[in-house]
């Protein structure tokens, strides 16, 4: 009998057909102590949106053949290093689109309508004590700008179009959509009240949402980020909030997860989530099953279902 391929989980949680994973592969759990014997048996890594897989980690596993991302984003993987070593990479596009778009909408409405501070006020007795409850701001009839109009950006636009004054977007290539195109994020920010980030974290997008973008967005403007923390110049965001250059931000992702700057944690102008865009039972199950399908295809020498490289 041939040995089952070894698969190491770089993520603590893996939903889906776990039994199937265990039947097909020898699974090493998250935080397994990697002995040289185990390292030699690992042929596949399963990483999540926060996993960092660099050349040094790849070299820990001399027989590594594939990294199957349990995420659509693959900014944590050194693709050049993987290519050089002939290691394949797959991801889980599509199955998480609707939930991540819902998270953007939820963050946006929660920020504009003060849902979280007002929930806290009620629980702490502020309503009973007739505390003054400041008015919030409308989430409807605004000019919405979306940076990145792929699967998730488009799903966000579909949700917001019926309730907004206008939808604009910025991508590298103009899309065949009824919305207004901008070829740079600063001009997009200038035109809108709400800037929503839905582009990948890449060398090109790194730090792109900076001081100039916040100044263009303006003092009534808000930022929503469900994409990647590295797209935002985080110190510039903190300064923009502090100096009322923008009105607020709602963030699911951060530059150095799971570390979130104290200034953001203490700010009353932000809504924060610990990177949960795709974290529903339904979506995480579908993502896990797609990971298994990619691994099955790979070890059966068939084409990957959703290849990155
Ligand atoms: P996608 O379908 O590949 O869409 C990406 C979009 O970004 C495309 O419209 C692309 O258009 C645009 N884009 C790429 N580079 C750009 C640049 N330099 N400037 C402007 N636009 C650029 O990806 P998706 O499935 O929508 O996912 C988008 C991102 O969301 C992922 O990469 C991931 O990082 C993030 N995400 C976050 C969570 C979460 O839990 N918060 C969950 C899933 C995904 P052009 O090619 O024309 O530029």
Atom of ligand 1 nearest to the CA of 205: 18
pLDDT at residue 84 greater than cutoff 60: yes
Distance from residue 296's CA to the centre of ligand 1 (Å): 27
**Surface-to-core class of residue 35, CB atoms within 10 Å of its CB (0-12 exposed, 13-18 middle, 19+ buried):** exposed
**Residue 238 is encoded by which pair of tokens?**
């903190």
**Surface-to-core class of residue 260, CB atoms within 10 Å of its CB (0-12 exposed, 13-18 middle, 19+ buried):** middle
CB atoms within 10 A of CB 301: 6
pLDDT, average across residues 80-103: 98
Q: Give the 3-state secondary structure percentages of the chain, helix then strand then coil, rounded to 5.
A: 35, 20, 45
The catalytic site residues sit at 228, 257, 275
150 lines ligand 1 (CB under 6 A): yes
pLDDT, average across residues 168-192: 98
CATH class of 6-95+281-299: alpha beta
Length of the chain (residues): 309
293 lines ligand 1 (CB under 6 A): no
Task: Name which residue sits closest to atom 48 of ligand 1, judged by CA.
Answer: 172
Domain regions of the chain by residue span: 6-95+281-299, 97-272
Q: How confident is the model at residue 82, as a pLDDT?
A: 98
Task: Name which residue sits closest to atom 43 of ligand 1, judged by CA.
Answer: 72
44 lines ligand 1 (CB under 6 A): no
Domain 97-272 has CATH 3.40.50.300: no
Distance from residue 39's CA to the centre of ligand 1 (Å): 33
CB atoms within 10 A of CB 304: 18
36 φ, ψ to 5°?
Answer: -55, -35
pLDDT digits (tens, 9 = 90+) for 22-50: 999 999 998 889 999 999 999 999 999 88
CB atoms within 10 A of CB 176: 4
6 lines ligand 1 (CB under 6 A): no
194 lines ligand 1 (CB under 6 A): no
pLDDT, average across residues 56-61: 97
Distance from residue 189's CA to the centre of ligand 1 (Å): 17
Distance from residue 147's CA to the centre of ligand 1 (Å): 8
Q: Is 281 left (phi over 0), alpha (psi -120 to 50) or beta?
A: alpha
Three-state secondary structure of 139-186: CCCCEEEEECCCHHHHHHHHHHHHHCCEEEEECCCCCCCCCEEECCHH
Q: How confident is the model at residue 49, as a pLDDT?
A: 84
Q: How confident is the model at residue 2, as a pLDDT?
A: 65
Chain centre distance of CA 205: 14
Cβ-defined contacts of 10-15 (< 8 Å, 24+) = 10/45, 10/46, 10/47, 10/48, 10/51, 10/53, 11/46, 11/47, 11/48, 11/51, 11/70, 13/284, 14/46, 14/70, 14/288, 14/291, 15/281, 15/284, 15/285, 15/287, 15/288
Q: For tokens 């014997």, what's the residue? A: 37
pLDDT at residue 17 greater than cutoff 90: no
98 lines ligand 1 (CB under 6 A): no
253 lines ligand 1 (CB under 6 A): yes
pLDDT digits (tens, 9 = 90+) for 246-288: 999 999 999 999 999 999 999 999 999 999 999 999 999 999 9
pLDDT digits (tens, 9 = 90+) for 106-153: 999 999 999 999 999 999 999 999 999 999 999 999 999 999 999 999
Report the distance separating Cα 178 and Cα 158, nearest Å. Answer: 11
pLDDT, average across residues 212-241: 98
Task: Name which residue sits closest to atom 20 of ligand 1, judged by CA.
Answer: 171
Q: How confident is the model at residue 1, as a pLDDT?
A: 54
The H or E element that residue 82 is part of is helix 79-84
């Amino acid at each position: 009998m041939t040995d089952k391929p070894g698969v190491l989980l770089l993520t603590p949680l893996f939903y889906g057909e776990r039994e199937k994973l265990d039947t097909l592969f020898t699974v090493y759990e998250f935080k397994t102590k990697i002995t040289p014997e185990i390292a030699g048996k690992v042929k596949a890594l399963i990483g999540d949106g926060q996993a960092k897989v660099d050349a040094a980690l790849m070299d820990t596993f001399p027989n590594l053949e594939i990294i199957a991302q349990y995420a659509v984003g693959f900014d944590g993987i050194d693709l050049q290093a993987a290519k050089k070593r002939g290691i394949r990479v797959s991801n889980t596009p599509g199955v998480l689109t609707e939930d991540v778009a819902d998270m953007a909408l939820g963050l946006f409405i929660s920020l504009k309508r003060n849902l979280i501070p007002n929930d806290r006020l009620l629980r702490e007795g502020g309503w009973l004590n007739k505390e003054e409850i400041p008015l919030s701001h409308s989430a409807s009839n605004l000019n919405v700008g979306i940076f990145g109009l792929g699967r998730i950006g488009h799903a966000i636009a579909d949700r917001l179009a019926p309730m907004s004054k206008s939808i604009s977007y910025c991508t590298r290539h103009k899309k065949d959509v009824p919305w207004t195109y901008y070829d740079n994020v600063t001009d997009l920010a200038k035109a809108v009240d709400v800037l929503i980030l839905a582009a990948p974290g890449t060398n090109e997008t790194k730090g792109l949402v900076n001081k100039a973008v916040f100044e263009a967005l303006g003092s009534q403007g808000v930022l929503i980020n469900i994409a990647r923390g590295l797209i935002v110049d985080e110190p510039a965001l903190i300064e923009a909030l502090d100096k009322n250059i923008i009105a607020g931000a709602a963030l699911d992702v951060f530059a150095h997860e799971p570390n979130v700057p104290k200034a953001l944690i203490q700010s009353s102008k932000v809504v924060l989530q610990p990177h949960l865009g795709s974290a529903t039972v339904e979506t995480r199950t579908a993502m896990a099953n797609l990971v298994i399908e990619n691994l099955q295809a790979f070890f059966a020498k068939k084409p990957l279902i959703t290849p990155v490289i």
